[in-house]
């Protein structure tokens, strides 16, 4: 005799023990196919009522279409749609809304693409419960109701939907459902830019029920997958510490090592999309055999990166069953803010709205851009509406150094014109503003910008417009400024020395004094790791400024030194800009001036160290320690108009 495990039946019913069984012949049980079912299966569809072949709905822009308004008791067993829409973002701007028993607040309110797991893009994948199979979206989630079930679609694309096809199959049952039967719920959430102070919240529900899964879409702001270091934390019935605490995002989806074998679709978990270029992941996990029950409340959260250290765009569809009434959902974001990120802006950029254009013959304002997407920084741009071609204005950005390269991010759209960009009288770039739709992502890189009196000034001249453009507007979002860095040109390098650990795995080598800290002798042989003989080696700094220490063998849990000399005509203070992987110390003329100890990836200009130079040649010694993995450093002096002479060979 085959017994059906109660944990499978638990997909639909909350029961404290296995004594609660699904009644024989009940249509909710997909595991009793040999048992004749009570009730009747009916289907509502978009078939052409005139007998023709126009088997679809046309839904006007802004309209709500009622797909089904079913009297109970019953259960929706199957839902299928396919859509023709000219809106490239229709997956996020068409809403699916379902209400049970005449409730005021919907139990399902999800963008249609995300309900079926494909909010990022039109993507084929199949599971037993929901998916997109070669152009058709389907759901087999059982959805019981007693008095009524109402299914609606809301068109928020801004244009008509010419063809919306659908099938809704449901059971009409003779008796109301038992009080133990819970209602289907699905809620969509999004944070276009995650908060470093808290986990991303997938679900906060109140009442009695069980959580049966999520579909989670994530996109990095750094175009990598480091956000996958985040752990899920699920809190049940108000507990202060999560009863379910995971070990990583891909681990929660029953995968590993950043989904290192790519996309797949298993019955209860899978990877719908992996885009390493954009840093995008879309995955699903259905708690079919392990539904998570709650008596009073549940809060499902997940970190974005370890300790929420990564900024990313997170959106999710939570799926659960609970007894009514449910906690009303928060209002969904407006249609524009549901569009997936198309353009990721760099952090630390200068907001164009903070700049004050100088000139005449134009109007200027800060324009709110949420209607067009979440891509604009702070959802705003600086908009300049000139009188016509030839109009010009100047924007200035305060800076600390003399030479820069910049990237200007601007808006393109039907009413935007063209402009030439000048700095110091030289043309440095061009803006082409026209596009059929208003979109982010206009980008122009400007090089060899020279500051005057602490300001980089851009002179913008309106040069005309595309023949299809309706105006000459210029929309500026942000500008990034990066110094034209000149790095310390050469170093003597020495290593590797040991970097021992104590019983708590704390690395001790940075504070362990080795011979190079006591004396400087470029001809001397030293004893390094494993007793190997090592000596100073002269190395030239590559153009990108990254001094690679990885060539040392071994290169993990080691310490190395870098030596150069700095000349001063008279005593003066200068600033050293340093970036290291991992910890570091800075010595000047035998005196320790700076210490940093942590694990990090080296980037230029992470640390600022004040060096009090004496007259003549000064000895600059760096000590860099490594934990595991990458091992390198950057070092330079800022270009402030008072150059510093640096030479490992003491050449002026």
pLDDT for residue 95:
98
For 224-238, write each residue's pLDDT tens digit.
999 999 999 999 999
Residue range 331-360, pLDDT digits in tens: 999 999 999 999 888 888 999 999 999 999
The CATH number fitting domain 40-181, selected from 2.40.10.120, 2.60.120.1390, 3.40.50.300, 3.30.470.10? 2.60.120.1390
pLDDT at 520: 87
Please tell me the predicted confidence (pLDDT) of residue 31: 64
The distance from CA 489 to its chain's CA centroid, rounded to whole angstroms, is 37
Neighbours of 45 (CB within 10 A): 15
Q: What is the mean pLDDT of the chain?
A: 93
Nearest to 415 by CA among 383, 378, 381, 369: 383
Q: Name which of 156, 50, 52 is nearest 109 in CA terms.
A: 156
What does the alpha-carbon distance between residue 192 and residue 368 come to, in Å, rounded to a whole number? 16
* 271, two tokens: 């990877």
Q: Return all residues near 494 (Cβ < 8 A) that are at least 6 apart.
A: 516, 526, 534, 535, 536, 537, 560, 561, 563
pLDDT at 43: 97
Measured from the Cβ of residue 63, the count of other Cβ atoms closer than 10 Å reads: 14
CATH superfamily ID and name for 350-483 = Galactose-binding domain-like (2.60.120.260)
pLDDT value at position 9? 36
CATH code for the structural domain at 490-646 = 2.60.120
490-646 matches 40-181 in CATH topology: yes
Q: Is the CA virtual torsion 214, 219, 220, 223 positive or negative? A: positive
Q: Within the chain, how many helices (H) and strands (E) appear?
A: 4, 46
pLDDT at residue 417 in the model: 96
Q: What confidence score (pLDDT) does residue 480 get?
A: 95
pLDDT under 70: residue ranges of the chain:
1-32
Residue 21: per-residue pLDDT: 34
Match domain 184-338 to its CATH number in 2.60.120.1390, 3.30.1330.120, 3.40.50.11540, 3.40.718.10: 2.60.120.1390
Whole-angstrom distance, CA of residue 28 vs CA of residue 292: 19
Predicted local distance difference test score (pLDDT) of residue 6: 37
What pLDDT sits at residue 294?
A: 98
Map residue 549 onto helix, strand or coil: coil
Q: Taking a C-beta distance cutoff of 8 angstroms, is the pair 431, 419 a contact?
A: yes
Would you list the DSSP string of 105-146?
A: S-SEEEEHHHHTT-SSS---B--SSEEEETTEEEE---EEES
Q: Which residue has 């797991």 as its token pair?
A: 117
Per-domain residue ranges of the chain: 40-181, 184-338, 350-483, 490-646
What's the pLDDT at 504?
A: 92
Residue-level pLDDT at 407:
96
């Amino acid at each position: 005799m085959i017994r059906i495990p109660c944990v499978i039946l638990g997909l639909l019913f909350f029961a404290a023990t296995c004594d609660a069984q699904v009644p024989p012949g009940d249509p909710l049980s997909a595991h009793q196919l040999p048992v004749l079912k009570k009730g009747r299966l009916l289907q509502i569809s978009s078939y052409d009522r005139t007998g023709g072949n126009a088997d679809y709905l046309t839904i006007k822009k802004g309209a709500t279409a009622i797909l089904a308004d079913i009297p109970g008791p019953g259960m929706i067993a199957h839902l299928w749609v396919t859509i023709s829409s000219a809106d490239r973002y229709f997956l996020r701007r068409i809403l699916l809304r379902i209400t049970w028993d005449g409730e005021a607040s919907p139990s399902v309110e999800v963008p249609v693409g995300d309900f079926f797991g494909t909010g990022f893009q039109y993507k084929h994948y199949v599971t037993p419960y929901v998916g997109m199979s070669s152009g058709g979206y389907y759901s087999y989630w059982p959805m019981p109701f007693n008095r009524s079930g109402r299914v609606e679609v809301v068109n928020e694309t801004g244009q008509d939907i010419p063809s919306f096809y659908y099938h809704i199959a449901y059971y009409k049952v003779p008796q109301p459902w038992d009080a133990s039967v819970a209602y289907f719920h699905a809620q969509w959430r999004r944070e276009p830019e995650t908060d470093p102070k808290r986990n991303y919240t997938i679900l906060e529900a109140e009442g009695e029920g069980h959580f049966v899964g999520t579909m989670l879409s994530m996109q990095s702001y750094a175009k990598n997958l480091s956000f996958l270091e985040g752990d899920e934390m699920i809190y049940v019935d108000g507990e202060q510490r999560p009863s379910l605490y995971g070990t990583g995002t891909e681990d929660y989806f029953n995968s590993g090592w950043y989904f290192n074998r790519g996309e797949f679709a298993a019955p209860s978990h899978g990877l719908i999309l992996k885009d390493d270029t954009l840093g995008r992941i879309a995955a699903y996990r259905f708690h079919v055999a392990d539904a998570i029950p709650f008596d009073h409340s549940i809060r499902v959260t997940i970190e974005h990166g370890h300790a929420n250290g990564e900024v990313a765009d997170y959106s999710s569809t939570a799926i659960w069953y609970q007894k009514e009434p449910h906690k009303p959902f928060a209002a969904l974001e407006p249609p524009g803010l549901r569009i997936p990120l198309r353009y990721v802006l760099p952090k630390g950029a200068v907001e164009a709205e903070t700049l004050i254009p100088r000139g005449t013959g134009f109007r200027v304002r800060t324009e709110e851009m949420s209607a067009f997407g979440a891509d604009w920084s702070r959802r705003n741009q600086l908009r300049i509406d000139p009188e016509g071609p030839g109009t010009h204005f100047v924007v200035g950005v305060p800076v600390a150094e003399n030479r820069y390269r910049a990237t200007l991010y601007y808006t393109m759209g039907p009413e935007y014109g063209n402009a030439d960009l000048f700095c110091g009288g030289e043309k440095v770039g061009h803006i082409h503003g026209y596009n059929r739709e208003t979109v982010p992502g206009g980008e122009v890189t400007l090089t060899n910008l020279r500051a005057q009196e602490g300001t980089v000034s851009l002179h913008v001249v309106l040069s005309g417009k595309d023949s299809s453009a309706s105006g000459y507007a210029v929309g500026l979002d942000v500008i990034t400024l990066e110094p034209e860095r000149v790095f310390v040109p050469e170093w003597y390098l020495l290593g590797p020395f040991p970097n021992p650990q104590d019983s708590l795995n704390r690395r001790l080598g940075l504070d362990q004094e080795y011979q190079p800290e006591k004396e400087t002798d470029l001809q001397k042989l030293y004893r390094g790791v494993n007793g190997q003989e090592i000596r100073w080696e002269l190395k030239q700094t590559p153009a990108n400024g990254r001094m690679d220490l990885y060539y040392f063998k071994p290169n993990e849990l080691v310490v190395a030194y870098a030596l150069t000399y700095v000349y001063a005509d008279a005593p003066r203070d200068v600033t050293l800009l340093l970036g290291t992987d991992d910890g570091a110390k800075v010595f000047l003329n035998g005196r320790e001036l700076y210490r940093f100890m942590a694990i990090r990836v080296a980037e230029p200009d992470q640390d600022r160290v004040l060096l009090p130079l004496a007259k003549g040649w000064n000895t600059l010694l760096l000590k860099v320690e490594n934990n595991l993995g990458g091992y390198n450093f950057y070092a330079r002096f800022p270009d402030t108009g008072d150059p510093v002479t640096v030479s490992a060979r003491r050449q002026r």
